Structures are given as C-alpha cells and as structure tokens.
A and B are shown apart, each in its own frame.
Chain A
Amino acid sequence: MSEVCTPTLQEISGLRERNAISLKMAKERGKKVVGTYCLFSPVELIVAAGAIPVSLCGTSPTPIPAAEKVLPRSLCPLIKSSYGFALTDTCPFFHFSDLLLAETTCDGKKKMYELLGRMKPLHLMQLPQVQDEAALEYWILELKRLIRRLEEEFSVQITPERLASAVMLLNEERRSLKALQDVMKRKPAPITGIDLLTVLHNRGFTVDKHEAIELVNRLTAELTELAERGVSPFDSTTPRILLTGVPVGVGSDKVVRLVEELGGSVVCFESCGAYKKVDPVVPGADLLRSIAEKYLRIPCSCMSPNHGRLSLLERLVDEFQVDGVIDLTWQGCHTYNVESLSVKHHLQQGPGTPFLQIETDYSESDTEQLRVRIEAFLELISARLGG
C-alpha cells in the first residue's frame, strides 16, 4: 500500500495545531466559544448566536489514567478520555470554551457531564430517546431553552435571519463533507480510510466554517482528479470495509490502522463524525422545527428503537460496494454493544455482507488478538470474492 498525498491533505494534517492558535486569536478579538461533544449538539444555534462551535477532545488514551482517579475504570474510553482532557486541561479547545454544550445521550455521558459542570459553565440538553411526534415537541422546547441560554450568556439575540443563514452555512458544510466521503465510492478508493478519518477529525476543530468548507471542497476536487487518473493505494481486488459503531477519531483509530495494514480498505465510516453527520436540515416553514427534526432523527444507538441506523447501513453497503462490515464497539458502551446483534441479524437477512464485531478500548494491549480477528475476516472476504 503506497500512500497517496495531495497538497490539501498535507495542509489538513497540521490543521489541529493551527486551529488552536486561531481560536486563541478569535478569543482575543472577543469571540465566544462553545465546546461540543456530540453530533446531537444543534450547532446552528451556536453559529446564530455569533459564537464559534468547536469539537472537544476525547479520542486519545493519554488522559484516561487521570480520569480513572475519579471515574469507574469500566466506563467507556470515550467518556474517560473526554473527562480526562478536561481534568488535566490538555485540550486547547476545552480551555478556550466559554460554554460547554452537552446532551443526555447515554447514561455514562450524562452523569459525567454533572461532574464536568463543576469545571466550566455547561448547558445540558435533555435529549428524548425515541423519534416520534411527542419527542419532537419536547426536543423543540429544549432547543428554545438553549436559545435562551445562549442569548443570556452572550448578550445576543438569535434572530430568524441569523438562524436562516446558520442553517444555510451548516447545510453547505454537510454537502461538502458528503461530497468528500462520496469520492470513496470509487473502486479502488483514492485514499486510505485513515487519511479520510484524519481529515474529518482535524476539520472538526476548525474555527472558520467558510474556510473549512473551501478546504474540503478543494480536497474533494483533488481526490476526484486522482480517482479519475486511477491513482490509489489499493487495487480493484482490495476488500472494501465499512466501519460502523462508536465514534472514532485520531488516537482511537487502531482498528482502522489494522484493517489497512492487513490489506483492507476502509471506504466508509457510518459513524457520528462521518456519514451520520451529512444528513441536512430540510428547511420548512418553521425553521426551528426543521432543525429539531434533523437532530432528532440521528440514528444513534441511544435511540430505541433505532431502525434508522439499519436502513442507513444497508444503503451505504450498497452505494460504497462494501465487501465487509466491521462494527466497532467500545468496552462499556452498552448501547452499541447490545445493538451489534441487531446489526448482524439485519445484514444476515438482507445483503448477506460478512460482519465482524470488535469490542475494544483505546489501549494497544489487544493489538495482536485484534490482528488475528481482522486478518481472518479479510481472508474470509477474499475467499468469497475469489469464488
């Protein structure tokens, strides 16, 4: 597997560090910063309040030992890492945040947020865990409560005009991210899954949305051109893997690395930071309702039932010509771990795509065991492809 590199890929690899600096400068100009942890955060409202939304760190194993002094060891690594970053003040984006925005998604997170609220002002949104009409009405009230909090906190007014332009901006961002990921539908994909993941991860920390959209568009153009010339680190026989399950990012990417080191190509991430994110707000007469609808239909495993994830997966398996699905679940993530069985059955009864669940954490201690499983999974796929 030879690496493919483009000028924009190179630029994006150093983005996270540069973003911390531009965030500090924006703060010095009086800009307010709202840190988010989850895809359920209605970023439109933050943008309409004139503040900068930033993703907060939570994908590195480094601060986990610090978090384990307070939190139970058996908690999921994502929650421990997020809390550890805050505790050790090692996430610049957390450091510069004026307000944290959080949601009651899973039990571990919502109780962790209670502790986090002692360190910084935190606004907790009560997220319903079912996707029906009553839940939507409740969720709209929660969006209104957030609007009041942002208006009071930052002494601004979120006008319908500002909200409309925020929706346009974020829909444009989603369109650009979808176009980027859709380049991977090409067979073979023009870049590695680890490169795509790095781009998606680093981009999350950008301060200027317009700049980030332009950067992603530029990268998409470069990659399309590469794909047209047939440039790829893979060939047409490389098994194409879709990764579903828990959020992944730089630092919690060992499974992605192993898949590609062992001869697979991760072509699609059906996860929060990637394809789950590209679903747009469909603007209707009541814009706030349209925003609420968009966020409430996110197919996260904290929802019950969560049929949306199964149909999204089935669609992506087809569109990305996927040869195998790997369901990555973190230890202690009960919702994704239990839901894995439904995903397996759905794939078995539907497209019949080979399926592998991996339960692990951020540490490297099980790398050798994972290597055997992933390699055997790729052998199984190659045997099927070979007839």
Chain B
Amino acid sequence: MIAAGIDIGSTGTKAVLFDGAIRATAVVPTGWDPAGAGVAAFRQALDAAGIAEGAVGRVVGTGYGRVSLPLFDKKVTEITCHARGAHFLHPETRTVLDIGGQDSKVISVDAEGKVVEFAMNDKCAAGTGRFLQVMAGVLGVSLEELGSISAGAEPVRISSMCAVFAESEIIGLLAKGVDKGRIAAGVFQSIASRMQGLAGKVSVSGGITFSGGVALNPAICRAIGSGLGAEVLVPAAPQLVGALGAALVGFEA
C-alpha cells in the first residue's frame, strides 16, 4: 500500500509518499491558501514518484491546516506525527524537539515512538521560525545568511523572548554599532535557551532528534545542542518529519 502524509504548516506545506520506504517528497510554500498548498504538495509528490492519485491507499493530514482538506482520510496532530517520523528515522529517539513556523514543542516518546508527554510554547511567537524571520528581516539578511554571518561570532545577549520586544532590542543594538554576526549568534542563543526552558517541562532523555524547518540551520542546531549539553540528531530533511509521521500513521492503519 502507498500512504501519503501531508503536513500543512503555517509557513511550508510538505508531502511524503511512503510504501515501506519513502517514495517521494515535496515542499511548497503555504501562502494564503492552506488547502491549495496541500493539494499542490500532494500532486508534486505524485509527479515525482510517477504514480496516479488513485494508487494512494490512504492520505493522512497534519499541521495547522489539516482541518481544511477534504482529500484527507484521517487527520492527526503534528505532535503525534513528529514523534512517529522522528522515531522512524532515528529509532533511538526519546525526545523530539520541533521548531515550526509558529510554534515550538518538546515531545517525549517511548521505545515504540508513542507520545508520553509534550510541552508547547505559549500563545506567542517566542522561539519559533517566525521569531527568526522577524530578526533576519531587521538585520536585512535572508534566513540562510543569518546562519552564515553568525559563524564564529561571539553571541551578544538578547534578553527579550518576545518577537516584538526583541525587534526593538536589536534595532537598539544596531544603533550602537554592534556587529550583525554577533546579533545573529545572539538570536540563535535566545532560541536555544527558549527551547531549554521548554525542555525542562518534560522528562528529556535518550536520543534527542531536532525536527522542523528551523533545524535546516546548522548554527541553531549547534546552539541547541550546547544549550542542552547533549548531542542533537538532525534528520537529512528535518522539515519533512511531520509529513513522514503522517504517512506512517496512514501506512500502519
């Protein structure tokens, strides 16, 4: 059986086709139309695999846009999906860190990849992908550049967790002539300490896997690893972990 997992996030929409192994993947921007993005990602993955829609046995949706698609046979939260996806890629995973576009979470999982407990950020953009985007915007660089300019720089301390307050703080630092690279490193440090705080709410143990689009940035991965004092496993395509988990739920159903 071929199962599809579609993860409609606030920023990106991801699709994975799975038939015992990953057959194809796709990533498209969510934009203003989550339903359209879900269909587009699904079609793109089908094209990449060279199979027809009818060949797919089950379609499982996840992500904040999961409510908006009639295509789905089943809907599962991103918490369950990230746990399943991360456990499939790294079976030693007992803790999943996920930073998405508008939220971040820490999930503790058992030996079978089942969720034991989890914690999520409160209603605010602190420590999320959106926080990074806003800060990159203030510094006038792209997200990729944010990582490269931070390389080797001594992080400056950014005390505001709130995206709005941190923005003013950074404007203040720029006015004082602080180097952009140091500010970028400070932004990563700030996200890492936010994740550390969140991790304190659940029992963190065993292998730690970092999923979500933000994990594409090596500087953040390093900051989080050193913050937690542990090695952090980063999948080759961390942004696809949720969609993979959804496909696994469909495949095993």
Which of B40-48, B111-119, B230-238 faces chain A? B111-119
Q: Is there a chain B Cβ closer than 8 Å to A369's Cβ?
A: yes
Nearest 3 Cβ contacts at the A-B interface: A376-B79, A366-B123, A376-B77
Given contacts A379-B115, A380-B115, contact A372 B77 (CB under 8 A): yes
Would you give the 0/1 interface string for A359-370, flagging 1 where the beta carbon is closer than 8 Å to chain B?
110000110110
Q: Which residue of chain A has its CB nearest to the CB of B80?
A: A379
Q: How far is the CA of A354 from the CA of B117 in the complex (A)?
A: 8
A379 — which chain B residues lie within 8 A by C-beta?
A: 76-77, 79-80, 115
A314 touches B (CB below 8 Å): no
Find B64's partner among A360, A365, A368, A383 (CB 8 Å cutoff).
A368
- B122 CB-CB contact with A under 8 Å: yes
Distance of B116 from chain A, by nearest CB (Å): 8
B7 contacts chain A at the CB level, 8 A cutoff: no
A376-B79, A380-B116 known; 19 new pairs, CB 8 Å cut-off, are A355-B117, A359-B122, A366-B122, A366-B123, A369-B120, A372-B77, A372-B78, A372-B120, A375-B77, A376-B77, A379-B77, A379-B79, A379-B80, A379-B115, A380-B80, A380-B114, A383-B80, A383-B114, A383-B115
B149 to chain A, nearest CB (A): 32
Encoded as 1 (CB less than 8 Å from any B CB) or 0, chain A from 286 to 303 comes to 000000000000000000
Proximity string of chain B (119-157) to chain A, C-beta cutoff 8 Å, 1 when within and 0 when not: 010110000000000000000000000000000000000
Which residue of chain A has the shortest Cβ distance to B120 in the bound complex? Answer: A373
The yes or no answer to B103 lying at the interface (CB within 8 A) is yes
> B103 — which chain A residues lie within 8 A by C-beta?
369, 372
Q: Bits for A337-381, please: 1 = Cβ < 8 Å to B, else 0.
A: 000000000000000001100011000011011001101100110
Smallest beta-carbon distance B8→chain A, Å: 13
Contact between B80 and A376, CB atoms less than 8 A apart: yes
Chain B residues close to A by CB (< 8 Å): 64, 76-80, 103, 114-118, 120, 122-123
Assembly CA distance A380 to B64 (angstroms) = 18
In the bound complex, CA of A208 to CA of B80 (Å): 50
- Min distance, Cβ B79 to any Cβ of chain A, angstroms: 4
Q: How far is the CA of A375 from the CA of B115 in the complex (A)?
A: 12
Knowing A365-B123, A369-B103, A369-B123 are in contact, say whether A376-B64 is a contact too (CB < 8 A). Answer: no
Q: Contact at A372–B117, with CB atoms within 8 Å?
A: no
Q: Which residues of A are found within 8 Å of B114, using beta-carbon distances?
A: 380, 383-384
Contact sample, A vs B, 8 pairs, CB 8 Å cutoff:
A360-B123, A365-B123, A366-B122, A366-B123, A372-B103, A375-B77, A376-B78, A380-B116
Closest to A376 in B: B79
Which residues of A sit under 8 angstroms from B120, Cβ to Cβ? 369, 372-373
Give chain A nearest CB distance to B201 CB in angstroms: 9
Question: In the complex the two chains form, what is the Cα distance from A355 to B116 in whole Å?
Answer: 10
Nearest chain A residue, comparing its CB with the CB of B203: A348
Q: How far is the CB of A355 from chain B (nearest CB, A)?
A: 7
**CB nearest neighbor in A for B67:** A371
Q: Give min CB distance, A26 to chain B, whole Å.
A: 43
Neighbouring A residues of B78 by C-beta, 8 Å: 372, 376
A369→B103 CA distance, assembly (Å): 9
Contact check, A372 vs B115: say whether CB atoms are below 8 A apart.
no
Smallest distance from the beta carbon of B67 to chain A beta carbons, Å?
9
Contact check, B64 vs A372: say whether CB atoms are below 8 A apart. yes
Q: Which of A368, A376, A379 has the most CB of B within 10 A?
A: A376
Cβ proximity bits A30-47 to B, threshold 8 Å, 1 near / 0 not: 000000000000000000
Most buried by A among B103, B120, B122, B123: B123
Q: How far is the CA of A215 from the CA of B73 in the complex (A)?
A: 45
Q: Are A376 and B123 in contact (CB under 8 A)?
A: no
Q: Which residue of A lies closest to B102 (CB)?
A: A369
State the Cβ distance, A239 to closest chain B Cβ, in Å. 14
Smallest CB separation, B30 vs chain A (Å): 15
A202 nearest CB across to chain B (Å): 30
Judge whether A376 and B122 touch: CB under 8 Å: no
Most A-side CB within 10 Å, residue of B76, B77, B78, B103:
B77
Chain B residue, CB-CB nearest to A375: B77
Question: What are the residues of chain B within 8 A of A376 when measuring CB–CB?
Answer: 77-80, 115, 118
Closest beta carbon of chain A to B220's beta carbon, Å: 22
Q: How far is the CA of A376 from the CA of B115 in the complex (A)?
A: 9
